[in-house]
Amino acid sequence: MNFFGINKEELKKEGGDITAEEIYRQPKVWEKSYEVICKEKEELENYVKNILNIDNLRIIFTGAGTSGFIGDTVAPYIKNKIDKNSVESIHTTDIVSHPESYFKKDIPTLLISFARSGNSPESVATVELAENLVDELYQIVVTCNAEGKLAKKMKTDKDRMILLPEESNDKGFAMTSSYTSMVLSTLILFNIETLDDIKEEIDNLIRSGEKILDDTNKIEDIADVEFDKIIYLGANCFYGLAKEASLKLLELTQGKVVTRYDTPLGFRHGPKSIVDDNSLIVLFLSREDYPRQYDIDLLKELASEDRGYKVLVISENKDKAIEKLCDYQLSMGIEQSDIDQVFTAINYIIYPQILALLKSLKLGISPDNPSPDGSVNRVVKGVTIYPYNKLSLQI
């Protein structure tokens, strides 16, 4: 069997077969993740409905690294959907060092934690801090590992755990199917009252993912392009996606490719200085008419500059006008859909995942273990969690 133009045996020799297979099987994992929510629909629907009716409720999505980017991806959509004043994505790595800045004693809080392994020190510490500092705390843990420390902490009637299929617990270094499965499951959770109605849309996303993964010639060609810097750009939910795409390439190339992320508008305010002739700029194109104007304005600016960098646009469908403004366009080719574009994030990210894998291999790095010296680990090591005196909390 081949993955992305490379024989599986060759991938195994080069230390990339695990990551390649985990990227490739994502649509099947999405289907199983949907089934997980379906099986617990009644209980989860009642739980979410009751909590969302709480006055002055605050919702915090949290996680570390890629797990933190899940919250960054879904929070803008969910804030708009449920019309709550306080829906935030705050990484555990921010909370642990400054809990008094984020947890408020008298505000009812739903803490939604994302975790592949559930063993990151900051993830466990964040839960413990919340339990000590927030009077009325509700928790949902979305995880890929039933044996993780985080999963085992969910014991009270106010806690719920969404345990995703075992296949989502990526064994490779980088989070791939774990990221997309947790994104999708969270979006489904907040649409649980219309679960049957969105099934067809989910099926379309699964088919689109399969189509992308079975036709990777273009992304393989882009991986052959010489670049030592890559900048991912996206707005709103795609900003979280840009963060995740940037991290994937940084991780799998062991930092040999410089990566950055920003919004299309923010990019001009200084960060554009990083661009040189050996750069690849990647834009996640919005479907929505209003923000799309700003995306196109930036593309026009980049196209007008006589410089050596390349521009890649990732979009839902091919657009001849867009093709004229970039060097490469990759599209999902899905039918026009009424489902919010945040759902397409799980398809958009496939391209950066494949690009990171292939670029890693071309640099002679093992994607399954890009940091063999142990300086960076699959589950973070070397973090000391210090006792926190809750009496010092400023209310």
Please, what are the domains in the chain?
2-197 (3.40.50.10490), 209-362 (3.40.50.10490)
Which pLDDT value is given to residue 316?
93
Number of helices (H), then strands (E), in the chain: 16, 12
- Among 322, 174, 328, 180, smallest CA distance to 240 is for 180
Q: Is the pLDDT of residue 230 over 70?
A: yes
Tens digit of each residue's pLDDT (9 = 90 or more) over 269-296: 999 999 999 999 999 999 999 999 999 9
Mean pLDDT, the chain, integer:
93
What ranges make up the beta strands (E) of the chain?
2-3, 6-7, 58-62, 86-89, 109-115, 137-143, 159-163, 229-233, 258-262, 279-284, 310-315, 328-331
* DSSP per-residue string spanning 290-327: HHHHHHHHHHHHHHHS--S-EEEEEESS--HHHHTTSS
Residues in Cβ contact with 120 at an 8 Å cutoff, skipping those fewer than 6 apart: 64, 67, 92, 379, 380, 383
Residue 269 burial (CB count, 10 A):
10
Which pLDDT value is given to residue 241?
98
Distance of CA 240 to the CA centre of its chain: 6
The token duo for 303 is 């196209």
What ranges make up the beta strands (E) of 243-394?
258-262, 279-284, 310-315, 328-331
Cα–Cα distance, 42 to 23 (Å, whole number): 31
Which pLDDT value is given to residue 391?
43
pLDDT: which is higher, 108 or 339: 108
* DSSP per-residue string spanning 151-204: HHT--STTEEEEE--GGGS--SSS-SHHHHHHHHHHHHHTTGGGTTTTHHHHHH
pLDDT: which is higher, 30 or 378: 30
The token duo for 64 is 């570390």
Q: Is the pLDDT of residue 33 over 50?
A: yes
Residues in Cβ contact with 235 at an 8 Å cutoff, skipping those fewer than 6 apart: 263, 264, 265, 286, 291, 294, 295
* Residues forming beta bridges with residue 13, ordered by sequence position: none
The token duo for 208 is 């689109």
Residue linked to tokens 């413990």: 128
* Residues forming beta bridges with residue 89, ordered by sequence position: 61
Which pLDDT value is given to residue 350?
98
pLDDT-derived band of residue 335, with 50, 70 and 90 as boundaries? low
Burial profile 42-75: b = 16 or more Cβ within 10 angstroms, e = fewer: eebeebbeebeeeeebbbbbbbbbbbbbbbbbbb
Tens digit of each residue's pLDDT (9 = 90 or more) over 190-221: 999 999 889 988 999 999 999 999 999 999 99
Cα–Cα distance, 146 to 340 (Å, whole number): 30
Cα–Cα distance, 111 to 121 (Å, whole number): 17
Distance of CA 24 to the CA centre of its chain: 16
Instruction: Express as a percent the part of the chain with pLDDT over 90.
Output: 83
Q: Are 133 and 390 in contact (CB under 8 A)?
A: yes
The token duo for 89 is 């994505």
